[in-house]
Structure formats: structure tokens, C-alpha cells
Amino acid sequence: MQTPASKTAVDRHYDLVIIGTGSGNSIPGPEFEDQSIAIIEKASFGGTCLNVGCIPTKMYVHTADVALQTAESGRLGLEAEVNSVDWPGMVSRIFENRVDAISAAGEEYRRGPKTPNIDVYDQHAVFVGERTLRTGQGVHPRTISGDRVVVAAGSRPVIPEAIAASGVRYHTNEDIMRLPQLPKSLVVIGGGSIAMEFAHVFDALGTDVTIIARSTLLRNLDQDLHGPFNNLAAERFDIRSGRTPVGAVQTDQGITVRLDDGSTATGEVLLVATGRIPNGDLLGLPAGGIETIGAGRIKVDEYGRSTSAAGVWALGDVSSPYMLKHVANAEMRAVRHNLLNPENMQRMPHDHVPAATFTHPQIATVGMTEAQAREHGHNVTTKVQSYGDVAYGWALEDTTGICKLVADKDTGKLVGAHYMGPQASTLIQQMITVLAFDLDVRQFAANQYWIHPALPEVTENALLGLTFNQPDHNNSPDHLTS
């Protein structure tokens, strides 16, 4: 491919330019050793997941789970309590000892002698022409171009106008985890996964949590999880659902948020977790001839190519319908393959995308809800199985965990799986396998062992509870142990 025809003076031309070091940083492997590559990263190496997303949140969530289990251990006959919470110690364990070290090592590797074909640029990049970007190295502005450009620039938190305009100090996922002290009280704006994970963390560690949500919490869940989850959340949090913030002021107590019904919510700290917006709107995409969906989501074809700009590719949150790390990584693998094998390209893998919310109780879902399955015309069979009906659920003294499976009575195929309870994100993996390999669930329960008395027996029992028009004769619950 030729150097782009552009009137802009270019400091250096590369075979490949990558914007963003989240999943984008995993593209250059040994197969790219003979290519000149520019990696542009304006913030910390490793992107959202490593620095301010999946990984540190789950390190806090695990700590919160332990604190909550300790507080609730009376039901197991134990007398135990959390005597103190060393928040600054957690911050340094999670960030200084782990996340920051990994991020710094990642950057050092890319800048160092082991990847001599790669140059790192560390200033915000914008397109100034076709496959041409203005960025910088330290204080030195640079304009670079590439035969091919991969945009893996991620997303950022949405801030409601009423909060942005109020001038109050608010936090997002980008800085809430590095607070100097654990706050006594926290107002969370948002009712999605990120809001629920932080609400769980802070509540479990001893902070009073108020949640302001435009709708109900985790509103896209299957109805059999949605109601119970909202009821359980109401036992822990002060929830103002169906409410929108209309303003906020700084007071002696912290931040007071005014709501559209005239009420207020006050907390020492305010967290905004109202969703994420793809970063394309900050990339000067029109100059690069790059089409978007809405303001910032780059429009790509099934292979990850920009629909309008030849040689431009995109992956992850900046272009994907799914803002999830496992999807960004899977898209990265497809784009990497397609860059190397233009004659034999792979599609972006978007079938049966699972998701988990690491709150309490933990939630994991894959495939359709019951309502969606009916809308899609499936002849639906469902089973809601309580954790409390299997032996390991007894060991846990669990009273709220459920697994709901949704299948098609005619085909014997699973169409959705929904878990709420301990280890939900692990338990669901078998159902992800069923969907990925298009297995017939009439045989899946009976034709394998299920370790007794392990928690996957909840899945086994749920499968055995589904009813089909042509039941498999092996699918009998005779060997059930609970």
C-alpha cells in the first residue's frame, strides 16, 4: 500500500499504526516482526481493563466478598467480624504492587530492545488525513501515517449534563478506586453493571451507599433474576429508582444531588457510573474519512474493517456492539488474523457473547432471556433451579441463588442461561460451551458425570428440569443425588 496522499507533512510512515494499548497492544506478536509499527497510547499502558476496569474492580470485589461472607458467617455457626478495613493498604496492594507494575512493564517492553520494530507515541492522536495522525512523543509533536491503521481507542464514562454542569467533584471508575480514604457514604449514579459492582464493594467495606437509577437495577436481566436482584439490593442500599439527577451542590457533608422528584441524596463522595461512550468522537475521524454510528462508534464490517476508509480497522469498545474485554480480545484476534491473512479473513466473533456482573449476588448470563426467546419464536421450555436444592447449596446455606435455563422444546437446543449466586461467572461456562458447540441439551445432563456434591449440580438439575417434545430416553433424573 502507498503512503497516503495527504498535504500534511509526515514525520514517519509505518507499515502498521495502532491507537490504544488495551486489546490493541496484543496485536504485534512475532508474526509482525518484519513490519514497522507505531503504538499510540496517551494514558497508561494496558487500557481500561488493566488500569481502571475489570482487573482492579475484581480485586476489590473479591475483598468485598470476603468481608460480606465474614459479616454473614453467623448462619454457618461462626462468630466472626471484620474489625478494620485498611483501604490505603488495598489501594497500594492492588495498584502499586500489581496493576501499575504490570502497566509499566508493558510500556517498557514496547519501548525496549525486545521489540525494535515498534515505536511508542504517548500523546493523544487525531486523524489529520487519510491514515495520517497527529500525535507526539513527550513534548515533541509528531505526524505519522500507516499503510494500515488499527483504532483500538476504547471508551470513556458518560457524565450526565446535570452533574457535569454543577461543578461538583465527582468520581468515575477512573479514580474512585484510588481514593485516599474509604468514604463514610457514597452516592452512586447509575444502575448498570459498573454501578452495581462499586455499590457492592463500598457497602461491603462499610460505606453507606445510595443509588440513583433512571430505571430499575440491571434492567436487562431475565425477569426471574431481575426482581429478586432488585429486592436483595434494596436490603443493602438506599435505592432511588426511576429518578434522574437535575443538579448537585457541594456541602459540608459532601455532595448533595438533587433529583427530578424534588428529593435529594447526599454522600461524602459521588460516583458517576451511567454508561460508557466510544472514544471515536475525540479522534478527528472525519479527517480520516472514517464513518461512525452516532458520534463516536466506528462503523466496521464483519471483518473489522472501516466501512468507509480503506486500510483502517477498528476493534473493542470504540467499534463493538459489546463493551466487554473478552469481546475486545476476541475481536483483536480476528483483526490480527485478518491483517496477516487478507485472503482468508475471519469474522468478528459475536455469537453467544456472555457477560458477568461481579456484584452480590454475582450474575452471569449468556444467550436470550425468556422474553427474548419468545419474541424470536422459540417454543420455549424453562427451568429455574435454586442453589438451595443441591447439596453444595446446603453447604453454603444459600437461600437466593438461582440458575435459569431457557431452551427450545422442539430442537433440544439451549437458547439462554442465567445465573445469580455464588460462582455464577464460573458455573455458566458449561452453558457457554453448550451454545458455542451447538450441543443438544437433552443429552448434555445425562451423558457426562457431574461431580458430587459440587455446585455445577445446580446446572445438572436445571437441565433435567427442562421439558422437550421428544425427550431423550437417557435424560432421566434417577441418579440425582440431592
Ligand X SMILES: Cc1cc2nc3c(=O)[nH]c(=O)nc-3n(C[C@H](O)[C@H](O)[C@H](O)COP(=O)(O)OP(=O)(O)OC[C@H]3O[C@@H](n4cnc5c(N)ncnc54)[C@H](O)[C@@H]3O)c2cc1C
Selected from 10, 27, 48, 127, the binder of ligand X by CB under 6 A is: 48
Residue 440: its H or E element = none
Selected from 16, 201, 248, 323, the binder of ligand X by CB under 6 A is: 323
Selected from 23, 207, 306, 382, the binder of ligand X by CB under 6 A is: 23
Nearest 10 degrees: Cα torsion 308, 311, 316, 319: -10
Q: Strand, helix or coil at 361?
A: coil
Residue closer to ligand X by CB (options 38, 464) is 38
Question: Interacting stretch for ligand X, rule CB under 6 A, among 149-157, 251-259, 302-310, 470-478?
Answer: 149-157
- Cell numbers for 24, please give them: 490493541
Q: Does 328 bind ligand X (CB under 6 A)?
A: yes
Selected from 4, 28, 47, 106, the binder of ligand X by CB under 6 A is: 47
Yes or no: say if 277 and 293 are a contact pair by the CB < 8 Å rule: no
Q: Does 103 bind ligand X (CB under 6 A)?
A: no
Q: Does 57 bind ligand X (CB under 6 A)?
A: yes
CB of 15 to ligand X, least distance (A): 19
Q: Does 314 bind ligand X (CB under 6 A)?
A: no
CB of 43 to ligand X, least distance (A): 4
Window 200 to 239, contacts with ligand X (CB under 6 A): none
Q: Which of 104, 144, 109 is nearest to 128 (CA)?
A: 144
Residue closer to ligand X by CB (options 298, 455) is 298
Q: Does 40 bind ligand X (CB under 6 A)?
A: yes
Q: Does 42 bind ligand X (CB under 6 A)?
A: yes
Q: CA-to-CA distance for 432 and 429, rounded, in angstroms?
A: 5
Residues acting as catalytic residues: 452
Report the Cα 158 to chain-centroid distance in Å.
Answer: 15
Selected from 131, 305, 325, 418, the binder of ligand X by CB under 6 A is: 325
Yes or no: say if 271 and 188 are a contact pair by the CB < 8 Å rule: yes
Q: Does 370 bind ligand X (CB under 6 A)?
A: no
Cβ within 8 Å of residue 481, ≥6 positions away: 391, 452, 453, 457
Taking residues 119 to 138 in sequence order and writing x for each that binds ligand X by CB under 6 A, - otherwise, the string is -----xx-------------
| Beta strands across the sheet bearing 254-259 | 245-251, 254-259, 264-267
Residue closer to ligand X by CB (options 228, 284) is 284
- Cell numbers for 143, please give them: 505526524
Q: Does 316 bind ligand X (CB under 6 A)?
A: yes
Helices (H), 147-251: 161-166, 193-205, 223-236
CA dihedral over 454, 458, 460, 464, signed as positive or negative = positive
Q: Does 280 bind ligand X (CB under 6 A)?
A: no
Q: Does 293 bind ligand X (CB under 6 A)?
A: no
Q: CA-to-CA distance for 276 and 192, rounded, in angstroms?
A: 11
Yes or no: say if 157 and 272 are a contact pair by the CB < 8 Å rule: yes
- Point out which residues bind ligand X (CB under 6 A): 19-24, 40-43, 47-49, 53-54, 57, 124-125, 152-154, 173, 194, 279, 282-283, 316-318, 323-326, 328, 358
